Amino acid sequence: MIVLDGMPGAGKTTLLHQLRIALPRHLVIFPEAQPPENSTSDAETARFLLSEARDRIDSARHLARTCPARLVASDRCHIGVLAYRYALAATDRAPHSDFEHALFLCHDLDLLHPHPDLTTLVLLTDPGTSISRRAAYAHDQRYSLWFDPGFLAAYRDFLDNLPVWLPTSAFTTFDVTDTSGWPTLLDTLPPHLVGQLPPREALTGRSSEAV
């Protein structure tokens, strides 16, 4: 399974679009998980989202056994859950214990250690670029937190220091502030999974994302 996470506006949707073009009949995409509407606490929300991340790994393994020609891609994972709670705590929007609880759950669900059949790409960009790429959503109050420079700086700080929390072999980071490097990201995908890709010029479609 290919997992994409990182800064909002870094281009997860773009890469998923490229994969969809490359593998129109062999790609299964898990969309970004959404918190339950009836959640009563952050602890409950964190457990739901992290359990979903665990379930995706298990589902991808099942598909690998039953449909080996399929590639599974996931929009976000446990890294985003941790980064969000770290940024909330760093900007005094939530207690640090919320982040610590989420980190404990990651350990409990075995999400932090490398998995041999999992490729996790973490896409980085600076807060200013993140905001400018998503300018069309700036007036939508649902996303107001994702346009706060302090929150985004704390979110990026967590991603810059991922080796503090995860083994470096569990993820690969890319700074995609300069989008001219986008097509080369396809070269990071395991060749035995994606097979023969179409010409590179066919894989340079662009799309945008809100968060």
Domain 2-185 has CATH 1.10.3720.10: no
Tell me which DSSP letter residue 7 carries. Answer: S
* Domain residue extents for the chain: 2-185
How confident is the model at residue 38, as a pLDDT? Answer: 86
According to the model, what pLDDT value does residue 189 have?
Answer: 61
Helices marked H in 67-184: 78-90, 96-108, 127-133, 149-160
**Looking at this protein, which amino acid is placed at residue 189?**
L
Note the pLDDT of residue 49.
97
CA atoms within 13 A on the CB side of 163: 5
Let me know the angle formed at the C-alpha of 98 by 155 and 121, rounded to the nearest 5 degrees. Answer: 40
15 or 186: which leads in pLDDT: 15
pLDDT bracket for residue 182 (50, 70, 90): low
pLDDT bracket for residue 101 (50, 70, 90): very high
Residue 61 pLDDT greater than 90, yes or no:
yes
HEC sequence for 152-192:
HHHHHHHHHCHHHCCCHHHCEEEECCCHHHHHHHHHHCCHH
Q: What distance in Å separates the CA atoms of residue 203 and residue 19, rounded to the nearest whole number?
A: 8
Mean predicted confidence (pLDDT) in 158-181: 89
pLDDT value of position 208: 42
Mean pLDDT of the chain: 87
Dihedral Cα 5, 9, 14, 15, nearest 10 deg:
-20
| Whole-number pLDDT of residue 193 | 52
